[in-house]
Amino acid sequence: MAPRIVRPEQNIKNKLAEAKQAPVNTNVIVKKYKELARRASISRGTTESINWFRSRIRKDASNRSFEAVTKGFRPIDRPRIGSMVTYMYDPKWKKTLPYYDTQPLIILVERNRDGWYGVNMHYLPPKIRAELLLDIGWVQKRPLAQLAKGLERSDYLKHACKKYLTKQASSMVVIPKEEWEIVIQLPFEAFEKTTNEKIWRKARK
């Protein structure tokens, strides 16, 4: 039987595909907070760590750059149900929208023909973001699909779940599940036509 010949260009394509699938996490901001938690003897992935990151991270106003927040995370084109992603977003009907977030941080709950629905964590106050992770079973390390189901039962779904169009999104990266407790607290919300405080006030009603 003749040996299988692999052309050089196929080798390159294979390596690129493997690189795209490989988990990447060299984000400097996330590494900083992981090290701070280690020094404080905080066990990751616990109720304690979720609350510790909430109180620690929001004190640092320097974590507002989309580029800094996303650098080192794996780029993707098609997010999975239950995955957390962030991206730049330019709404198609922004002139008529009362307000919108140009840097959503979502957990995807449903896909459709032209985009997806996702719970944008930026629409929730930092404390509620932490509570939501606990409510959906993130600490119990449930599969992504189960986390999405938990969000569908959340009281905050109506306020924070938004539809996004594929063609209007760019620079998308996926956030590894073990880093959610850190990334949800990074203050890179980018609301237009409103303020964080006004959005968060509506979530508390």
For tokens 């999104």, name the residue: 169
CB 157 within 8 A of CB 28: no
What pLDDT, on a 0 to 100 scale, did the predictor assign at position 106?
Answer: 98
What pLDDT, on a 0 to 100 scale, did the predictor assign at position 26?
Answer: 77
Query: Angle of helix 28-39 relative to helix 47-57, nearest 10 degrees?
Result: 120
Residue 82, SS3 per DSSP = coil
pTM confidence score: 0.86
What pLDDT, on a 0 to 100 scale, did the predictor assign at position 150?
Answer: 92
What pLDDT, on a 0 to 100 scale, did the predictor assign at position 64?
Answer: 85
The pair of structure tokens assigned to 182 is 């850190």
Tens of each residue's pLDDT in the chain, 205 residues: 444 444 544 444 444 344 444 445 679 999 999 999 999 999 999 999 999 999 999 878 677 899 999 999 999 998 999 999 999 999 999 999 999 999 999 999 999 999 999 999 999 999 999 999 999 999 998 999 999 999 988 999 889 999 999 999 999 999 999 999 999 999 999 999 999 999 999 998 7
Letter string b/e over residues 135-165, b meaning 16 or more CB atoms within 10 A of that residue's CB: ebebeeebeeeebbbbbeebebeebbbbebe
